[in-house]
A and B are shown apart, each in its own frame.
Chain A
Amino acid sequence: MTEARKNSLTDKLVIIVWIIALIIVWEIGASVVEKTKRSPQNVLPHLSQIVESVFSDKMVSNKQTAFQIVITNAGITLLRAGIGFLYGAGAGFLLALAMHRFITVEKATFPYLMMIQMIPILGMAPIVLAITQDINKSRIIIAAILTFYPVATNMLDGLKSVEKEKYDLMRSLAASNWNIYTKLLIPTSIPYIFSGLKIAAPMAITASILVDTLQGGAGLGTMLSQSLKHAMSIYVFWQIVFFSATVGILSYKLMSFAEKIFSPHERAKGAR
C-alpha cells in the first residue's frame, strides 16, 4: 500500500470515529432526557426511535406513513429550490459577465450586490409571499436571490483573475470577443462559479423549506411546523431534520461532483 493511500484511509477512519462519537453523545443525551423530561420524544429521542419511525407502516395522516409524508413533501419543496437555484445561477452568471464587460454596470450595481450579502434576505420571505400571493413563486424567488449573490460575486472574481499574459496571447492572435469569452474567460471562472454554487445549494434548500413554513398546504416546512404543533407524529419532525441535513450535504456534494465533470484537469490531478 502506498503512503498516500494509507493516509487517505486513516483520514476516512478518523471521520468515521468522529461520527460514531457524535452518535454516542446523542444517545447519552437522549438517555438523560428520557429520565428527566415529560415527553422525551419532543426534546431528544433515541436515534433508534427515529430510524424505527422511518420504517414503521403506521399511518400518520391522510393514509400516509411518516416517511411517505416526508418524501412526497420533499419533492414539492426541493423542486422549487432547484428551479430557483437554476434561475439564480443563470442570473448571477449573466450579471457577472455584464459587470465584467461594462464598467458602468459594475460601478452601478456593485454596492447593491454587496448589500444583498448584508441584508437578511430570508427575513424578507414573508413580504415576497405577500406580493406574489403564490407559495411556489416565493420559494423560487427567494432561492434564486440567495443563489444569485454568491454566483455573481465569485464569477466576477474569476473573470478578474485571468492573467494579463493570457489576454496578450489572445490579442496577439487577433481573437474575437466571442473567442476570448468562450476559450479564456468563462473556462477560467468555472472553479470560481462552482465555489459560489457550493455555497448557494444548501442555502437554496434552507430558503425553500423556510418559505414553506409561511403558509399551510404542502412542503417540508409546512409538515415540520404541523409536526411541531402536534398536528401529526413528532417523528415527522425528526425525520425532516435528518432528511434536510442529508439533502443539504448532498447538494454540496452534487456541486463538487458537477465541478469535476466540468474540469477534467482536476480529475487528472486526483488520479496522479
Chain B
Amino acid sequence: MDKHNRSRLSSVVLPLLLGLAVIILWQSQLLHRMIDADTFTLPLPGRIFNIIVENIGKILINMKATVTVALGGLLMGSLLGYLLAIIASAFPKWGTGGLAVVSSFNAIPIIAIAPILNNLTKDFSRDPNVRSMLAKTLVVMITCTVSMSVNAYRGFTELKPFSEDLMKSFAASKGTIFLKLKVPNSVPYIFTALRVSVPASVISAMVSEYFAEYIIGVGRQIRENIVLAQYATAWAYIVAAIVIGVTMYLILLAVERASMKGRP
C-alpha cells in the first residue's frame, strides 16, 4: 500500500520538479546562456504571461478560428474516412488496394496540399475569411480522412476468430453483421485513428493558416508577430497553440476512457 502510493506520488512530483527546473533556468536566464539566445527572442516567462493577460481578447478570437478549422476538418475527415472504410469493406477486393493508395497520401507534405486548395476555393465566396476557412478546413479534412479510413477498415476486418461464423450460424443478414459485430468492433480502432488525427488536425490547421488569404488563427499570428519582431507576442500565441493541442488531446482521452468502459 505505502509503496504503491509513494510510486504514484513520484510520477507526479518528478515531472513537476523537471518542469520547475526548466522554468527557473529560463527565468534566471541560464537557459539563454545555454542555447545562446537573448531575452528578446526568448522572453522571460513572466513577460509572456503579462502579454497573454493584456491581449486575452485578441488571442481568444484567433484560438476560436484555429479550433473551428481543426474541429470542422477533423469531423468531416473522420466521417468521410469512416464512410470510405465501410465502402472498402463492402468490396474488399477493390477496397484493400484503394486504401493502400489512400494511405500513401499520408506521406504527402501538407505544405503541398494547402496552396492547391487555396486556389481551388478562390471562387467559393466573396468574403476572403469564408473562403480561407473552407480551404483550411479541407486541408485538415484530407489529413484526417487517411488515418480514419485505414484504421476503421482494420476495425471492420480484424474480427475475433469465429465471431463472423457465429453470426452466420444465426442466419444473420449482412446488415445485422455489420451493425452488431463490425461497428462495435471498430470502436477501439476509431480511437486509434483519433489519437493520430486530433494532434494532426491542430498542426494542419496552423500550417494551412500560413498559406491562407485571410490573416487569422494562432499559427498565422505566431508567424506574423515574428515578422514584426514582436517575439513576446509570438510566444503568447505559442502558449495558446499548446493549450489548444493539449486540451483537445485530453478531451479525446476522456471520451475514449468513457466509451471504452467495460472493454479490456
Contacts and interface: CB of A to CB of B under 8 A. Distances in A.
Q: Do chains A and B touch in the complex (CB under 8 A)?
A: yes
Interface string B40-57: 011000000000000000
B206 A122 contact: yes
A127 B222 contact: yes
Contacts of B116: 44, 241
Contacts of B242: 115, 118-120
B241 interface: yes
Contact of A14 (B94, B108, B109, B248): B94
A123 B241 contact: yes
Contacts of B106: 202
Interface stretch (A89-97, A103-111, A161-169, A177-185): A103-111
B226 A15 contact: no
B111 A44 contact: no
A126 B14 contact: no
Interface string B206-246: 11001100000011001100100001001100100110111
Contact of A119 (B100, B109, B219, B246): B246
Interface secondary structure of B, over-half rule: helix
A202 B107 contact: yes
Interface residues of A, number: 52
B121 to A, nearest CB: 10
Interface residues of B, number: 55
A241 B15 contact: no
B249 A43 contact: no
Given A107-B10, A120-B245, A252 B203 contact: no
Given A118-B199, A228-B115, A123 B238 contact: yes
A17 B223 CA distance: 42
Interface of A: 10-11, 14-15, 17-19, 22, 37, 42-44, 104, 107-112, 115, 117-124, 126-127, 129-131, 202, 205-206, 209-210, 213-214, 221, 224, 228, 237, 240-241, 244-245, 248-249, 251-252
Given A213-B210, A240-B112, 4 more contacts: A112-B19, A124-B222, A127-B41, A248-B109
